[in-house]
Amino acid sequence: MAETPIPKMASFLLISYYILFFFTLHIPSSHAHTAQKTYIIQIDKSAMPRAFSNHLEWYSSKVQSVLSTSFEAEDDDDDQERIIYSYQAAFHGVAAKLSEEEAARLEEDDGVLAIFPETKYELHTTRSPLFLGLESAESTNLWSQMTAADHDVVVGVLDTGVWPESESFNDTGMRPVPSHWKGTCETGRGFTKRHCNRKIVGARAFYRGYETAMGKINEQSEFKSPRDQDGHGTHTAATVAGSPVHGANLLGYAFGTARGMAPGARIAAYKVCWVGGCFSSDILSAVDKAVADGVNVLSISLGGGVSSYYRDSLSVAAFGAMEMGVFVSCSAGNAGPDPVSLTNVSPWIATVGASTMDRDFPAKVKLGNGRKMTGVSLYRGRKVLSSEKQYPLVYMGASNSTSLDPRSLCLEGTLDPRQVSGKIVICDRGISPRVQKGLVVKKAGGVGMILTNTATNGEELVADCHLLPAVAIGEKEGKELKHYVFTSKKATANLLFLGTRLGIRPSPVVAAFSSRGPNLLTLEILKPDMVAPGVNILAAWSGVIGPSSLATDRRRVKFNILSGTSMSCPHVSGVAALLKAKHPEWSPAAIKSALMTTAYVHDNTLNPLKDASSAEPSSPYDHGAGHINPRKALDPGLIYDIEPQDYFDFLCTQKLTRTQLRVFAKHSNRTCGKSLASPRDLNYPAISVVFPERTAVSALTVHRTVTNVGPPNSKYHVMVSPFKGASVKVEPDVLHFTSKNQKVTYKVTFTRKSKQPGPEFGGLVWKDGVHRVSSPIVIT
């Protein structure tokens, strides 16, 4: 079970703040005797025989040809009932209910490129515009420089839907919906045509795959429509492109003007997540519809583990979207600080990690011995502890235990009211959601809670909207606190809540929960790509669930504060929308390049970015190219562009069979070119070289091509970090440009001098006096 607030809808749909579990779901059918499950069948569109009048007719005949007749007789099931989706834009084929035997037979059929079993995905779950430099505290902001035509970019948000009444989706002053938009506003319980406007230009719900796996949606307890009762989708959509809302706050915290990264952009909400999770057939249909609808950017804050490129249906669908010019941004996951914990690692996807901002919500723990400890909290309730009084302090764990027990974790039913009533209870993080621990304390009669980090979380603190007075503190102070309890017969404490504080230093810091590299699918593709604000983010919220997401939370708020790579992903999606508006001719790769090469790797103390889990400097495996800098990204000077064929050529270096490659060739009938000898030569903005361990290879060369998007006459000089284990030579070391959009190629040769115990990190920078075009370098 992940440690995060539980939505009212069900206790097992977790908006992950920290720990994300990925798995491929092996789903039993509601008809056990047929053992049917959902399979996604990718079909070669170009192979349709002339005898068929349309592709769906042909797809249906293929499904019909493998159906088990005995099953058909028993269930009176035909191919149309078996098919739950057809895909026609970013992906070609159908999703159908099949037995394992039927799926195996269909996989052998001519024209069938691949079959993907249904996969379950989980959600990766005000200050940021100013922190990112999008608005200035003094005078003009970036948005004021945008023209009316710049607001025709549409961002598709795949999530839990949208709460259309939120002020963040006010369309006052917006121009008519752009003519290129072909989407629609689907209706259902709690959602009508009038809920779409010039801000929310489209809304759809996808549930056929979910219902096939989990049974019919209970329409009395869940909105079978684009309406969001979970809150996560509303939060991410508002972060992407929410309209300005003055006086936004959560119970008085983070008071200010809330707005999205691209407040003039349009939003299309695609609801793919339900009580029991998010299913790949629904996600795939949403991507397919979004591309056909005309989105320019896709924001996808969810993940389903890592599998080979050709076996990952979201990766394949994102490839198709990229081919159609759509920028795809995905969350990296919340499984950090463990290494190799990334998801969504395909090079055509922008993989986003999470970082902090310079805003915090401090709280104090004042002990009876005079010691004060600093923590965080978003508690704002009627019951506040008396500032003149000290309260008994209790910890139910053992003093000499090296492992956590249910009582120390404050799990449901583990606290004895006779021992905790009237006291402040110390609870260790882990297993259950943080806010739920406080509810357990409250039910047992406790008057407050101190939530202590364990080694897993280190010193990173994330504020929560608790249901009783509660403060979260770091691991070191947590150990000191427990020592005080065990060595003092009359240990006491009080809790003080200090509101909102700005100007936190150092910031940004890479969040401990943010998933880390390297990307073991392809070490030469450095992931994550970048980090963006993902800790304590204020944005719009659903009107039918409390800020803690617990069913017992009767509070209702218009805005909520959440943390997770789910929150960092829409920051990048929104900034990508700004870049697309200013540079409509840019490809998805060009936009990602601009974000990566202008990212920064130093905090507001001018020191290297730190890792919250260790307080040590973070590496490109943690922060990728660095923290996004939207203002710089609008004018990057040079970009590393990548065409769809280049990505396909990259796949040709991944030892895929011809059949596996056809998954990406689709209707384009792409073939492997000769331009890419190695995956390290993909024109990626980051550089990662891998020396073979058991060979005598002593030198490796990397090739890159940059496109001038700055002044026509430019000259760039190179700077490269020194490395202990290798010498680095760049040829040429000066790049001359005489026209805009001119391309120049350079090469970097790495010569090994000695074997280092681990990877070495550095960087390469091209400078023209105005622009800094930076690329992280990893030598393994």
Q: Which of 92, 232, 623, 771 is catalytic?
A: 232
Residue 159 designated active-site: yes
Q: Which amino acid is at 656?
A: L
CA atoms within 13 A of residue 513's CA, in its CB half-sphere = 31
Helix (H) or strand (E) holding 32: none
Q: Which of 79, 150, 152, 159 is catalytic?
A: 159
Residues with Cβ within 8 Å of residue 288, at least 6 apart in sequence: 87, 88, 89, 90, 91, 317, 320
In angstroms, rounded to a whole number, what is the distance separating the alpha carbons of residues 277 and 475?
32
Q: How is the beta sheet containing 302-303 ordered, strand by strand?
A: 273-274, 277-279, 120-123, 302-303
- Sheet of 112-117, strand order: 83-87, 93-98, 37-43, 112-117
Contacts of 60 (CB under 8 A, 6+ apart): 79, 80, 83, 94
Rounded to whole angstroms, the Cα distance separating 96 from 64 reads 11
Has 152 been annotated as catalytic?
no
Q: 549 and 6 in contact (C-beta within 8 Å)?
A: yes
- Positive or negative, the Cα torsion across 670, 676, 680, 683? negative
CA distance 82 to 766: 56
Which residue, among 200, 356, 276, has the nearest Cα to 6 in the 3D structure?
276
Q: What are the C-alpha distances in Å from 624 to residues 246, 688, 777? A: 34, 11, 10
Residue 269 CA to residue 278 CA, distance in Å, equals 15
Output the six-digit token pair for 713.
Answer: 């006459």
- The whole-angstrom distance between residue 261's C-alpha and the CA centroid of its chain comes to 16
Dist. CA 145–CA 166, nearest whole Å: 26
Does the active-site annotation cover 714? no
Among 566, 568, 593, 714, which one carries the catalytic annotation?
A: 566
- SS3 state at 256: strand
Buried b (16+ CB within 10 A) or exposed e, 310-335: bbbbbbbbbbbbbbeebbbbbbbbbb
Token pair listed for 240: 């992407």
| CA gap 408, 183 in Å, rounded | 51
- In the chain, the amino acid numbered 193 is K
Q: How far apart are the first and last CA of the chain?
A: 35
Q: Are 299 and 321 in contact (CB under 8 A)?
A: no
Maximum alpha-carbon separation in the chain: 87
Packing angle of the helix pair 588-597, 565-582 (nearest 10 deg): 110
CA distances from 328 to 36, 445, 780 (A): 32, 48, 28
CA-to-CA distance for 746 and 99, rounded, in angstroms? 53
**DSSP letter string, 656-695:** --HHHHHHHHGGG-----SS-SSGGGS--SSEEE---TTS
Beta strand 266-271 with 154-159 is parallel
Report the alpha-carbon distance of residue 360 to residue 338 in Å, rounded: 25
DSSP state of 172: T
Residues labelled catalytic: 159, 232, 566
